[in-house]
A and B are shown apart, each in its own frame.
Chain A
Amino acid sequence: AQTVTQSQPEMSVQEAETVTLSCTYDTSENNYYLFWYKQPPSRQMILVIRQEAYKQQNATENRFSVNFQKAAKSFSLKISDSQLGDTAMYFCAFMKHAQGAQKLVFGQGTRLTINP
């Protein structure tokens, strides 16, 4: 079974700073997807970024980028120029590539607070 671990329950940074959220996972699969989801106080889960395991290039979406280290099974999220609206719970998630196994396996989450 796959497991996802987020070792930082809470983080806090000042607005405009850069922050990195950690995520490690355990799997014997070779093909899979990794995601970062954001859940603000409104509760709506929003996809931040995704990474296909077969792609060596790290995914980037505007201020959000990942550092994907497949051998180390590490998938960290970097938020540059952080904004107050980035305050939320952040969940790292894993999904096998197989069609019959579409469930997301989530980490426990990191509560990120951006201070003015």
Chain B
Amino acid sequence: EAGVTQSPTHLIKTRGQQATLRCSPISGHTSVYWYQQALGLGLQFLLWYDEGEERNRGNFPPRFSGRQFPNYSSELNVNALELEDSALYLCASRGRLGLAPNEQFFGPGTRLTVL
């Protein structure tokens, strides 16, 4: 069974640009979570999508947005990039709510560098 996949592995952008990160969950998983792992700030929850809808959002500005597609894959968009957005962005998936254990399974991450 394939795990959570993320693309691209690395992404280099300049300030003010937009970045799009992609995540494909484990087959059969309906929930996708996004976390930011910035140096010195630890892992911070960004967004949670389930069944195509945004269910919860962390303490991040609106320029962090995303969506979940009918096949449960997800995109994270970061607009108007700032230097402090440089981080490892981790995606995680889990099975259908109420029917599966509560573990979140993580992808390998996308390293975003803003110059």
Q: Interface of A with B (CB < 8 Å)? A: 33, 35, 37, 42-47, 50, 91, 95, 99-109
Is A102 a contact of B42 with CB atoms below 8 Å? Answer: no
What residues on A are CB-neighbors of B64 within 8 Å? none
Inter-chain contact A103/B103, CB cutoff 8 Å: no
**What residue of chain A has the Cβ atom nearest to residue B31's Cβ?**
A102
Q: Is B104 an interface residue (CB 8 A)?
A: yes
Closest chain-B Cβ to A32's Cβ sits at a distance in Å of 10
Given A99-B97, A103-B33, is A33 in contact with B58 using a C-beta cutoff of 8 Å? no
Which partner residue on chain A sits nearest B40 by CB separation? A108
Classify the secondary structure of B's interface with A. Answer: strand
Does the CB pair A91–B56 fall under 8 Å?
no
Q: Nearest A residue to B110 by beta-carbon distance?
A: A43
Which residues does chain A contribute within 8 Å of B58, judged by CB atoms? 103
Bound state CA distance, A101 and B45, in angstroms? 11
A103 touches B48 (CB 8 A): yes
Q: Which residues of B contact A37 (CB under 8 A)?
A: 106
The answer to whether A45 touches B90, judged by C-beta atoms less than 8 angstroms apart, is yes
| Chain B residues with CB under 8 A of A104 | 33, 35, 43, 45, 92, 104
Contact, CB under 8 Å: B48 / A106: no
Choose one: A42, A46, A99, A106; the contact of B43 (CB below 8 Å). A106
